Amino acid sequence: MSSTINEKMQHLDELIRKVHNIIYPEQTDDMSWLMNKDLRLKMLERHPKCFMSLVDKKNNPVYLPICNRSAMADPKVIDFSMKMVDKMSKDVDIDPEAGKPIMIRLKKMKTRYNRESPKTPESDAMKAKLTRFLKSVKNSKNSM
């Protein structure tokens, strides 16, 4: 039962994200807020789940954004974070081994948010029912 609730919540979250992107298209493309330190810190305080932390070689935390300015998970921002981790690991700011698990998590998140909105179990059941019906019609037609 909880899995169906989780699936419905994921579907709802995806729909909310898509509607938000339609209503506020300019905010989703604008990543200039990442350059402003005060805005980043405010966002980190308000929405800590919108950032992933990574420790560099000097033991300083590096916060990688996952969400856009309106605290919605955004594949473009995740892609930006992936490029940032890749560049930092090449520039020897972080240990490449420490960056691998972060990159794996970011890739999973990016594929999750790049997908189209998930289908509900009810629509899958309806599709399965229709497929079975069409097969039975085809079989009965062939037997005539």
Element (H, E) at 63: strand 61-65
Q: Has residue 59 been placed in a domain?
A: yes
Q: Does some domain include residue 47?
A: yes
Cβ-based neighbour number of residue 54 at 10 Å: 22
- The pLDDT score that the predictor gives to residue 28 is 43
CB 17 within 8 A of CB 72: yes
3-state secondary structure of 18: helix
129 located within any domain: no
Per-residue pLDDT tens for 77-93? Answer: 899 999 988 888 887 77
Measured in whole angstroms, the distance separating CA 88 from the mean position of its chain's CA atoms is: 22
Using a cut of 0.95, tell me whether the model's pTM lies above it.
no
DSSP-derived 3-state class of residue 115: coil
| 42 assigned to some structural domain | yes
pLDDT at 65 (0 to 100)? 92
Taking alpha carbons only, the member of 39, 114, 112 closest to residue 69 is 39
| Residue 144 is assigned to a structural domain of this protein | no
Per-residue pLDDT in tens (0 to 9) along the chain, 144 residues: 567 888 888 778 777 877 776 776 655 456 777 888 888 888 899 999 999 988 888 888 888 999 888 788 888 889 999 998 888 888 777 877 888 899 999 999 888 877 655 556 777 777 788 788 877 777 776 766
Residue 96 belongs to domain spanning: 2-119
Q: In this predicted structure, what is the pLDDT of residue 31?
A: 73
pLDDT confidence of residue 105: 92
Residue 90 lies in a domain: yes
Residue 126 maps to a domain:
no
Instruction: Using CB atoms within 10 Å of the CB of residue 123, give its burial: 0 to 12 exposed, 13 to 18 middle, 19+ buried.
Output: exposed
Amino acid occupying residue 59: N
Q: How many domains, the chain?
A: 1
